[in-house]
Chains A and B, each alone.
Chain A
Amino acid sequence: MLNIADILETNSMIHDNKLDVRTITMGISLLGCVHSDGQHLCDRIYDHITKEAEHLVATGEAIERELGIPIINKRVSVTPISIVAAGSDLKDYVPVAKALDRAAKTVGVNFLGGFSALVSKGYTEGDRRLIASIPEALATTEIVCSSVGIGSTKAGINMDAVAEMGRIVKQTAELTKEQDALGCAKLVIFCNPVEDNPFMAGAFHGVTEGDSAISVGVSGPGVVKHALEGVKGEPFDIVAETIKRTAFKITRVGQLVAQEASQRLGKRFGIIDLSLAPTPAIGDSVAHVLEEMGIESCGAHGTTAALALLNDAVKKGGLMASSHVGGLSGAFIPVSEDKGMIDAVACGSLNLDKLEAMTCVCSVGLDMIAIPGETSAETISAIIADEAAIGMINNKTTAVRVIPVPNKKVGDMVEFGGLLGYCPVISVSPFSSAAFIKRGGRIPAPVRSLTN
């Protein structure tokens, strides 16, 4: 039998501390859509997605109402388009991006991920065409997200791709400059990308996945912060235990939603992503969780240790609550999507160097960071290289989603709108990395890749 305290606790988490399920993402394989004729390919992709995901949004909304918990996003991820379109006669893949955009809008999801290429070790012709299409694809579509894997622990880092992605980020910013370079907010550059990530902008449906799968990303930084308010001044053993217990409860809800959704949609349950994903709303911030541990403002010394504890405790608590855990699993630190991070950048306590250190122990990487519009392509490439090196050596996923906002300088405020949030432009090193990036080639896989 349930007791009254449990019921009121759950509802207080939802209504006072913004507990929600962040996303139900349907992964859809497009390998069956392959066709040599470009127009046919686009038609088949549109038809397949709209058929598979037809009931996704309505089902998500029904579960939301019945359980009384908000499910913020319903999304679709697809097979990397560089693979799907490789055998077609298309010279550029913008028409495919447009077909994806139309399909996503028809089914009513708010983002679709998978305009992607995986080039950790080298390019195929399809990869080359896809990457070249990214700026225009992101400028001419609204809800298509793109990602490129440029390195991994097993393969090392493809420095030619790193150099190219710096230029692609700049071109995307230029083509979407009227919207403060919004296109760059839909582009993620990965090291060790995962094939079952339900979160945007980096979601894609890997080729090792089945025909389709339902994955769920949970959230709840507000709930964790509230729980920590109850253990003020206590030692870290108790902090870790409190986070674990809270993460367990949050994840159980995610597991329930995932089971219900996969059953009703007749799709395989993929994974639960054990994540703490912030939003710009007050009371939904990962930075505020770190500050609750005793850091005056996020970025001060101690922040990395606090984040390491948080990230680990979230996983430990969530693991037992779910039958399959995957995705990126951990605490996200997207600057513009987190009120505490935004304030920390504005007051000067958080800078790019500290963010880079934090990415060694968080779930992903440098995320949703506005940098000056005049930042060179080579500097962006060098930021990507640093981040990829952290991922490669530490055997974890890292990513870069930076937005060089044209005509904006350090301290200027940039507004992306909605869940993408807003943030002040952050400074980058004024010293050049151009000669380093110009070398190209590959950084060899590290010795720790040889695990057999």
Chain B
Amino acid sequence: MKLVITVIGLDRVGIIAAVSAVLAKNQVNILSINQNIMDGFFNMVLMGETSAQSATNLEALQEELSVLGNELGVEIRAQHAEIFYSMHRIG
């Protein structure tokens, strides 16, 4: 299952490191990272892949990332990539 993880919030040291650590722990392989800083705001879109198909795993990951987001003061979302493919790609 392909995942899209988006992180938005105030920039600080260690956001990517912390998010990557949670992904590694949950067996999510990182396929690409796009990140920039706009007006002091940190924007990151990360594509990941996991062999796990079950929704319970995604739910656990979402929960863990949400806790991390609260700690870091950023908003972290993990979504099934299919919604983005459906909306922006035909075929």
Answer whether residue A67 sits at the interface, using C-beta atoms and an 8 A cutoff: yes
Answer whether residue A253 sits at the interface, using C-beta atoms and an 8 A cutoff: yes
**Contact stretch, chosen from A1-9, A148-156, A404-412:** A1-9
| Size category of the binding interface on chain B | 20 to 34
Determine whether the beta carbon of A2 is less than 8 Å from that of B80: no
Chain B's closest residue to A254 (CB) is B86
Contact with B82, one of A1, A9, A256 (Cβ below 8 angstroms):
A256
Shortest Cβ distance from residue A301 to the other chain B in the assembled complex, whole angstroms = 36
Determine whether the beta carbon of B55 is less than 8 Å from that of A7: no
Shortest Cβ distance from residue B61 to the other chain A in the assembled complex, whole angstroms = 11
Answer whether residue A255 sits at the interface, using C-beta atoms and an 8 A cutoff: yes
The majority secondary structure among interface residues of chain B is mixed
Contact with B84, one of A2, A62, A65, A66 (Cβ below 8 angstroms):
A2
Chain A's closest residue to B5 (CB) is A7
Q: Chain B CB within 10 Å — which of A1, A2, A9, A255 has the most? A: A2
B residues less than 8 Å from A444 (CB atoms): none
A2-B4, A7-B6, A7-B45 as given contacts; A67 in contact with B87, CB under 8 Å: no
Chain A residues bordering chain B, tally (CB within 8 A): 20
User: How far, in angstroms, from A423 to B78 measured CA to CA in the complex?
Assistant: 39
Answer whether residue A249 sits at the interface, using C-beta atoms and an 8 A cutoff: yes
B residues less than 8 Å from A1 (CB atoms): 32, 47
Contact with A256, one of B4, B6, B58, B86 (Cβ below 8 angstroms):
B86
B residues less than 8 Å from A8 (CB atoms): 6, 43, 45
User: How far, in angstroms, from A141 to B81 measured CA to CA in the complex?
Assistant: 41
A residues less than 8 Å from B62 (CB atoms): 65
Binary A-proximity of B37-55 (CB < 8 A = 1, otherwise 0): 0000001010100000001
User: How far, in angstroms, from A69 to B86 measured CA to CA in the complex?
Assistant: 13
Determine whether the beta carbon of B6 is less than 8 Å from that of A2: no
Shortest Cβ distance from residue B46 to the other chain A in the assembled complex, whole angstroms = 10
Chain A's closest residue to B2 (CB) is A2
Answer whether residue B79 sits at the interface, using C-beta atoms and an 8 A cutoff: yes
Determine whether the beta carbon of A2 is less than 8 Å from that of B47: yes
Contact with A10, one of B55, B59, B87 (Cβ below 8 angstroms):
B87
Chain A's closest residue to B75 (CB) is A15
Chain A's closest residue to B32 (CB) is A1
User: How far, in angstroms, from A7 to B47 measured CA to CA in the complex?
Assistant: 10
Chain B's closest residue to A320 (CB) is B90
Answer whether residue A233 sits at the interface, using C-beta atoms and an 8 A cutoff: no
Contact with A65, one of B45, B47, B58 (Cβ below 8 angstroms):
B58
- Interfacial residues of chain A within 226-279, with CB under 8 A of chain B in the complex: 249, 252-253, 255-256
Answer whether residue A427 sits at the interface, using C-beta atoms and an 8 A cutoff: no
Answer whether residue B13 sits at the interface, using C-beta atoms and an 8 A cutoff: no
Determine whether the beta carbon of B58 is less than 8 Å from that of A2: no
Chain A's closest residue to B1 (CB) is A66
A2-B88, A8-B45 as given contacts; A68 in contact with B79, CB under 8 Å: yes
User: How far, in angstroms, from A255 to B89 measured CA to CA in the complex?
Assistant: 13
Determine whether the beta carbon of B43 is less than 8 Å from that of A256: no
Determine whether the beta carbon of B55 is less than 8 Å from that of A68: no
Answer whether residue A11 sits at the interface, using C-beta atoms and an 8 A cutoff: yes
- Interfacial residues of chain A within 374-390, with CB under 8 A of chain B in the complex: none
Binary A-proximity of B48-79 (CB < 8 A = 1, otherwise 0): 00000001001100100000000000000111
Contact with B34, one of A4, A65, A249, A252 (Cβ below 8 angstroms):
A4
Chain A's closest residue to B58 (CB) is A66
User: How far, in angstroms, from A65 to B62 measured CA to CA in the complex?
Assistant: 9
User: How far, in angstroms, from A371 to B52 measured CA to CA in the complex?
Assistant: 55
List residues of chain A with CB under 8 Å of any chain B CB. Answer: 1-2, 4, 6-11, 62, 65-69, 249, 252-253, 255-256
- 14 A-B residue pairs with Cβ-Cβ distance under 8 Å, sorted by A, are A1-B47, A4-B34, A6-B84, A10-B88, A11-B77, A65-B59, A65-B62, A67-B80, A67-B83, A68-B78, A69-B83, A249-B87, A253-B87, A256-B82
